[in-house]
Amino acid sequence: MNDVCYFTNELKFLPIETTHTFTLNLFKVISQNTSPHYYFCWMDYLDGLNPSQKEAVLHVTGPSMVIAGAGSGKTRVLTYKIAHLMRKGVDPFNILSLTFTNKAAREMKERVGKIVGEGEARNIWMGTFHSIFARILRTEAAKLHYPSNFTIYDSSDSKSLLKAIMKDVGVDEKTYKVGLVLNRISSAKNNLLTAAAYNNNVNIQAEDRQMAKPKIGEIYKEYERRCFKAAAMDFDDLLFKANVLLKDFPEVLNKYQHRFKYILVDEYQDTNFSQYVIVKKLAALNENVCVVGDDAQSIYAFRGANIQNILNFQKDYPDSKTFKLEQNYRSTKNIVNAANHIIDYNTEQLDKTVWTANEEGAKVKVSRTLTDNEEGNLVANDIIDIKHNNQVQNSAFAILYRTNAQSRAMEEALRKKDVPYRIYGGTSFYQRKEIKDLLAYCRMVINPDDDEAFKRIINYPARGIGKTTLDKIAFLSNAEDKSMWKVISSSQLDSLEINSGAKNKVRHFIEMIQNFHILSKKKNAHQLVEDIAKTSTILTDLFSDKSPEGVARYDNIQELLNGIKEFVEDDVVKAIDIPYGEEAPLIEEGQEKSLAVFLQDIALLTDSDKDDKTDNNKVSLMTIHAAKGLEFPYVFIVGLEENLFPSQMSLSSRPDLEEERRLFYVALTRAEKEVRLSYAASRYRWGNLIYCEPSRFIEEIDDKFLEYTTPQEKKKNSFDNEQTGNFDNQRVNYRSTLKKGMSKVTKKDSKIPEPKIIPPHKKMVSIDASKRPVDPTFAASASKVEIGLRVEHLRFGKGEVTNMEGVEPDRKATIVFDNVGEKQLLLKFAKLRILKI
């Protein structure tokens, strides 16, 4: 039995029924020669694992690390490990499992539930670092002098606050870019540096002075203060303050050390220092900690993730066991090998060999198009073709890109061809202005000290409280170190030097918010928010706007209301499903569906956490970052151009470039059956047309894994050796930090060429859009196409025009192509070249 049941793509099973140690499974066996057949069998729940997976699962006591190659069944190991712990008698309350998204947590909980029983699985603490520690912080808030209903500022709140501070401090917004300042503060927090520590740190101060931004420390200090007075924490605070809690309050540390006897961390390669310290502290008592990760998939260095955490792990726990999962169950041989080949260009990596027993599979197709829009058409057509030829669903496809801005061209093409799709990430629903406005009212009801929410709604919809009044309130608020709400709702309002008209308007506003607050005790979240939308006149305001944007905004508000209604009515779906009970005293009986809980849930919702319950059969569009941990039969990686992927900003340092390459590795390894790469020769960026060169990553894949579907651009020697070797002195040498038992670092093979760095003078040229050049070959004007002419189409090849119908601009040509037969093409879209007869 054991020999047969290792999982391959050909062998799928469904658990039917579970007893204490055995599971009845339904197997579907697919082989090439016979038709699929089914059989039942009882098996021990561990029989579904291969030897190395099993070894990792069976290791129960003491620290362990699992280095898991892409598609090697990492989630499976985590799931079975948790199930195994529970089978061994561990109380689910004592298990803490930290995942990368809440959705991953939910799914894993479900799977554990299938093995050990749902009721039991419910009690596991499972979620993202941010959501788990937000929950713990709410419980322990008083110790940090925060109320338990504190607000979580998202990055736009943080930026708006920083802008206000920078104005007050008197620094120029052009030199001090908000994004940069926020990044500095963020990375300080992720390295557990308070504003005071930041200002006392000689190196940091020197760095800031060198950047000609010596006042960042001062801004940080003020930012810290204003967040506190608004009873708000930003994303990084959730981890930072969790650290403060565990450091300054031994009794709290003790409590959670006893609570979390077993700790599991997924995607360990993407944890930052702050997260690393949290895990280390919590695990210090029992040392039953299991981390799972893959250094080759580390793609979050930009937000402080530190690959050193994996190495530190072995230093901290010299007795820890390391397990390696190297068999890939997801992808074809061709994909696995192509990905391995790419990642070999990186100098920084742990030694492991990912392999697969799966079939050889198709080659990776590479296509070039003239423009970004055409790239969209190409992908859309390919999807239609593959769907047709292989009888697969829309959900089998993913289009992955480096930047969110690239989604536009893809969307347009898919829409034009009626292919249903869903975009993950991007400007998410909750970031839209109208949604943020309405939610700001909600935030004020839950936490009136929330200054960012206050600023947003004090005069929206317009109620005659202008800049002058607001400035005076803000001034007093800062001078007295009180929230703006505290300033106006106290007797201090009388002493404010504003005219009586404005004062009355402010009083009216206070009354309105207070009324909402009273209502919040009586009504459920949906009724309350509906009332807020009406009373605040947001609803009528948007309704009267009949422009397409206005209508869309109104619809969005309705959608939000529907969402809240669903939240209230649905008793199953909860974004953060960790045990309530004594840990969450703020949620009183009957309050599980309150507005407060809704706000808590959405603040930390990842885009992929939101399930589209109505229709899941859609093509997925997302950034590669968002695709982490996911898999799809067919993956399109688009925009493979220098300066886009790899990103222009990564070109000046080797570690950054290597992170881009890991990102490409992640993209490739999402695919089960087929990967298609594409790049455009030109694309619009900032409203300008720019010319692009194919990404170095395409060249880095050996030709034996590739198939070019369009004529390959002639090989350029442009970025030859001139700049290679630049980074050699920056190379991070892991070997010195390695302990025995650790995997060896691959010595870079001398045969493998150095990554080629594009010289600065090869930067993209942008030209005026009005001077956009017309491609000489494929831009025949539609009017010249006539019946009887021989034409050439980029994708379909050569053919003869047999019929014309319709009037401009919807003129259609029927063309019989030599290879693909008859097609009807809209001339305004089809780029045809007329062939000389």
Query: Catalytic amino acids?
Result: 74-75, 266-267, 297, 670
Report d(CA 56, CA 320) in Å as an integer: 12
Minimum gap (Å) between residue 269 Cβ and DNA: 15
Q: Tell whether residue 548 is a contact of DNA (CB under 7 A).
A: no
Report d(CA 608, CA 629) in Å as an integer: 11
Report d(CA 721, CA 753) in Å as an integer: 10
HEC assignment per residue over 192-233: CCCHHHHHHCHHHHHHHHHCCCCCHHHHHHHHHHHHHHCCEE
For the purposes of burial, counting CB atoms within 10 Å of the CB of 543, is it exposed (0-12), middle (13-18) or buried (19 or more)? middle
Q: Which is nearer to DNA, 409 or 568 (CB)?
A: 409
For helices 51-58 and 74-87, angle between their N-to-C axes, nearest 10 degrees: 40
Q: Which stretch binds DNA (CB under 7 A): 27-35, 375-383, 519-527, 641-649?
A: 641-649
Q: Tell whether residue 465 is a contact of DNA (CB under 7 A).
A: yes
Report d(CA 665, CA 132) in Å as an integer: 30
Minimum gap (Å) between residue 469 Cβ and DNA: 5
Q: Which stretch binds DNA (CB under 7 A): 127-135, 352-360, 516-524, 823-831?
A: 127-135
Minimum gap (Å) between residue 462 Cβ and DNA: 4
Q: Which two tokens stand for residue 102?
A: 């809440």
Range 428-457, binding DNA (CB under 7 A) = 433
Report d(CA 292, CA 7) in Å as an integer: 20
Of 75, 395, 537, 647, the residue at the interface with DNA (CB under 7 A) is 647
Could you tell me if 262 and 315 are in contact, meaning their C-beta atoms sit under 8 angstroms apart?
no
Q: Where are the beta strands (DSSP E) in 225-332?
A: 232-234, 262-265, 289-293, 321-325, 327-328
Minimum gap (Å) between residue 363 Cβ and DNA: 28
Q: Which is nearer to DNA, 459 or 743 (CB)?
A: 459
Report d(CA 754, CA 224) in Å as an integer: 44
Nearest to 387 by CA among 640, 613, 618, 616: 618
Q: Which stretch binds DNA (CB under 7 A): 481-489, 532-540, 630-638, 645-653?
A: 645-653
Q: Which is nearer to DNA, 179 or 725 (CB)?
A: 179
Q: Which is nearer to DNA, 239 or 343 (CB)?
A: 239
Beta-carbon contacts of 645 under 8 Å, excluding residues fewer than 6 positions away, are 401, 402, 639, 660, 663, 664, 695, 697
Site string for DNA, 163-202 (x = CB under 7 A): x----------x--x-x-----------------------
Of 51, 250, 420, 464, the residue at the interface with DNA (CB under 7 A) is 464
Q: Which is nearer to DNA, 392 or 405 (CB)?
A: 405
Q: Tell whether residue 20 is a contact of DNA (CB under 7 A).
A: no
Minimum gap (Å) between residue 712 Cβ and DNA: 27
Q: Tell whether residue 104 is a contact of DNA (CB under 7 A).
A: no
Minimum gap (Å) between residue 97 Cβ and DNA: 15
Minimum gap (Å) between residue 142 Cβ and DNA: 24
Q: Tell whether residue 817 is a contact of DNA (CB under 7 A).
A: no
Of 146, 220, 235, 441, the residue at the interface with DNA (CB under 7 A) is 235
Q: Tell whether residue 258 is a contact of DNA (CB under 7 A).
A: no
Q: Which stretch binds DNA (CB under 7 A): 128-136, 556-564, 568-576, 826-834?
A: 128-136
Nearest to 57 by CA among 44, 41, 42: 44
Q: Which stretch binds DNA (CB under 7 A): 247-255, 365-373, 684-692, 805-813?
A: 684-692
Q: Tell whether residue 58 is a contact of DNA (CB under 7 A).
A: no
Nearest to 587 by CA among 577, 597, 578, 579: 597
Q: Tell whether residue 130 is a contact of DNA (CB under 7 A).
A: yes
Q: Which is nearer to DNA, 498 or 698 (CB)?
A: 498
Beta-carbon contacts of 9 under 8 Å, excluding residues fewer than 6 positions away, are 329, 330, 358, 672
Q: Tell whether residue 574 is a contact of DNA (CB under 7 A).
A: no
Minimum gap (Å) between residue 756 Cβ and DNA: 18
Q: Which is nearer to DNA, 447 or 608 (CB)?
A: 608
Q: Tell whether residue 659 is a contact of DNA (CB under 7 A).
A: yes
Q: Tell whether residue 267 is a contact of DNA (CB under 7 A).
A: no
Minimum gap (Å) between residue 403 Cβ and DNA: 4
Number of residues engaging DNA in binding (CB under 7 A)? 49
Minimum gap (Å) between residue 439 Cβ and DNA: 15
Q: Which is nearer to DNA, 170 or 687 (CB)?
A: 687
Expressed in percent and rounded to 5, the helix, strand and coil fractions of the chain are 45, 20, 35
CA atoms within 13 A on the CB side of 181: 30
Could you tell me if 46 and 84 are in contact, meaning their C-beta atoms sit under 8 angstroms apart?
yes
Q: Which stretch binds DNA (CB under 7 A): 45-53, 73-81, 241-249, 603-611?
A: 603-611
Q: Tell whether residue 236 is a contact of DNA (CB under 7 A).
A: yes
Could you tell me if 695 and 774 are in contact, meaning their C-beta atoms sit under 8 angstroms apart?
no
Q: Tell whether residue 489 is a contact of DNA (CB under 7 A).
A: no
Q: Which stretch binds DNA (CB under 7 A): 140-148, 202-210, 297-305, 441-449?
A: 297-305
Q: Tell whether residue 469 is a contact of DNA (CB under 7 A).
A: yes
Q: Tell whether residue 649 is a contact of DNA (CB under 7 A).
A: yes
Q: Which is nearer to DNA, 548 or 590 (CB)?
A: 548
Query: What are the backbone dihedrals phi and psi of residue 364, each rounded to the nearest 5 degrees, phi first?
Result: -80, 120
Report d(CA 681, CA 335) in Å as an integer: 25
Cα→Cα distances 558→463, 564, 570, 604, 749, Å: 23, 10, 18, 22, 59
Q: Which is nearer to DNA, 128 or 483 (CB)?
A: 128
Report d(CA 443, CA 453) in Å as an integer: 7
- Strand 397-401, strand 421-423: pairing: unpaired
Q: Report CA 52 to chain centroid distance, whole Å.
A: 30
Minimum gap (Å) between residue 38 Cβ and DNA: 39
Minimum gap (Å) between residue 384 Cβ and DNA: 26
Q: Which two tokens stand for residue 279?
A: 């895990």
Q: Which two tokens stand for residue 799?
A: 């053919």
Q: Which is nearer to DNA, 465 or 801 (CB)?
A: 465
Q: Where are the beta strands (DSSP E) in 542-631?
A: 619-623
Q: Tell whether residue 402 is a contact of DNA (CB under 7 A).
A: yes
DSSP-based three-state secondary structure for 395:
helix
Report d(CA 115, CA 461) in Å as an integer: 53
Beta-carbon contacts of 12 under 8 Å, excluding residues fewer than 6 positions away, are 27, 28, 30
Q: Tell whether residue 403 is a contact of DNA (CB under 7 A).
A: yes
Range 687-706, binding DNA (CB under 7 A) = 687
Q: Tell whether residue 15 is a contact of DNA (CB under 7 A).
A: no
Q: Tell whether residue 606 is a contact of DNA (CB under 7 A).
A: yes
- How many beta carbons lie within 10 A of that of residue 334, not counting itself? 24
Q: Which is nearer to DNA, 82 or 498 (CB)?
A: 498
Cα→Cα distances 43→2, 6, 21, 46, 54, Å: 9, 12, 8, 8, 14
- Strand 22-29, strand 232-234: pairing: unpaired
Of 562, 648, 712, 733, the residue at the interface with DNA (CB under 7 A) is 648
Q: Which is nearer to DNA, 347 or 623 (CB)?
A: 623
Q: Which residues pair with 801 in a beta bridge?
A: 815
Of 38, 39, 40, 302, the residue at the interface with DNA (CB under 7 A) is 302
Site residues (vs DNA, CB under 7 A)? 101, 128, 130-131, 155, 163, 174, 177, 179, 235-236, 299-300, 302-303, 402-405, 425, 433, 459, 462-469, 498, 502, 604, 606-608, 623, 625-626, 647-650, 656, 659-660, 685-687
